[in-house]
Amino acid sequence: MTTYKYRAKAEDGSTVNGVIEAYDEYEAIDQIRQTYPVVEKIAPVRKDRKFNINLNEPLWVSDKTLALTSNQFFIMLKAGLPMSRVIELIAGQTADKLMKRILLACAADVAAGYSLANSLEKNGKKIPAVFIETVRAGEESGTLETSFKSLENYYSRANKTKKKVKSALTYPIIVLILAVVVIAVVMVVLVPRMTETLQSFGTELPLVTRILIAISKFFSSSWYYLLIAIAVIGIALFSYGKTEKGKLVYSKIRMKLPVLGKIAKYNAAAQTANTLATLLAAGLPVTKALDIVSRVLDQRCVGEELNKAVVKLENGMSLGEALSDSKYLPPMLLEMISVGEASGSLEDTLQTIGLYYSEEATAASDAALALLEPTITIVLGVVVGFIVIGIYIPMFSMSSGGYS
């Protein structure tokens, strides 16, 4: 519900100011006119959010929360509870503060007679469009329980995949960070002290040692410039990646990378199939479902292809024909879509092929992560070996009488 402030004229001609809560401006005016015949001015009350930042509230609703919430909706609706009561109960049980706030706002809207989907669209800016549109389709087709069950399966799979990748990446990242810190300390603290001793002999040092000294001097004297440069470049790349053009360019680059490109392609195929299957199961027409998928895909280059396919669908082409010239979706996915359409089992086919590519993406990620640890070890070994050689070659030379 939105709070509006208004100025109106009473029947005796006096001016009245007040506030009222309503779903939109039109409903607010109707409510005011029940008491005051003339509404002169109405505007939503703007909340000052400049200093109203809750650091304890998450920035978005997680897949885990969406899966759990969908399951709760499915169970309670199946038990026959009214929607407004269901929303209040779930809001009271959830530990996610953002979801709690969204559901409490939705409870007031639904109690006033509005649909859950419309309320989620207004209050749930951090909820994915797939969730909202699936709920809308379920409400319109009378299959809301089934829609929530599909959403539970969809977000449970997504959460498991992300959790597995995050777990696999934790150890290599920690090792890499510790290694960088140790090497930085060696280059900035230990190497300068060792080189002072070596240079005090006044003789020409080996090339490896001179290179090591030059690198150490650079890091010792210019490390802050390096950090500033890295920060500026990182912010620039991040900002560019937030633009539509940047998302498209980055996604095309990811698709062409040697190992990561394969993972990105499998993930895009799995996300396309699974999301499309979920929306079709909720009762959305293919054109509408494909349009939603094109807007929520992580890989913008695939989303752009699907967006072009929507136009082809509207012109009478089948889904398989509309996607036949895709550069980024795997050929087997396109073939299975055509088979599913021809056999009248597109939804089941998409669920099967989506599961297949989810497993393929997981397998490819596991293989890439299995190569990551030895790669890090080799790189660190080369760096440490270079430092050791640069320090100990002149020391060995001195001990054998090479310096006098």
pLDDT at 309: 93
Say how far apart CA 319 and CA 301 lie, in whole Å: 18
> Mind listing the pLDDT tens digit for each residue in 231-251?
999 999 999 988 989 989 999
pLDDT at 54: 53
Helix axes 331-343, 346-399, angle to 10 degrees: 170
Identify whether the C-beta of residue 69 lies closer than 8 Å to the C-beta of residue 156.
no
Q: What is the CA radius of gyration of the chain?
A: 30
Tokens of 303: 């989303």
pLDDT at 50: 43
Q: Which residues of the chain, if any, have pLDDT below 70?
A: 1, 23, 46-59, 198-199, 201-203, 397-404
Identify whether the C-beta of residue 257 lies closer than 8 Å to the C-beta of residue 301.
no
Residue ranges of domains in the chain: 2-44, 63-156, 169-404
Helix axes 144-185, 260-281, angle to 10 degrees: 160
Q: Which fold has domain 169-404?
A: Receptor-associated Protein (1.20.81)
Say how far apart CA 33 and CA 22 lie, in whole Å: 13
Tell which CATH classification among 3.40.50.880, 3.40.50.1000, 1.20.140.10, 1.20.81.30 matches the domain 63-156: 1.20.81.30
pLDDT at 240: 92
Q: Which candidate, 281, 277, 265, 297, places its Cα nearest to that of 352? A: 277
- Please, what's the b/e burial string for 77-91 (b: 16 or more CB within 10 A of its CB; e: otherwise)? beeeeebbebbbbbb
Identify whether the C-beta of residue 391 lies closer than 8 Å to the C-beta of residue 208.
no
Say how far apart CA 195 and CA 170 lie, in whole Å: 36
pLDDT at 398: 64
Say how far apart CA 276 and CA 297 lie, in whole Å: 11
pLDDT at 148: 92
Pairing of strands 38-44, 2-9: antiparallel
> Mind listing the pLDDT tens digit for each residue in 247-301?
899 999 989 988 888 888 998 999 899 889 988 888 889 999 999 888 888 889 9
Q: What is the DSSP letter of 190?
A: I
Q: Do domains 63-156 and 169-404 have the same CATH topology?
A: yes
3-state secondary structure of 43: strand
pLDDT at 202: 63
Which residues fall within 8 angstroms of residue 170, CB to CB, at 6 or more apart?
none
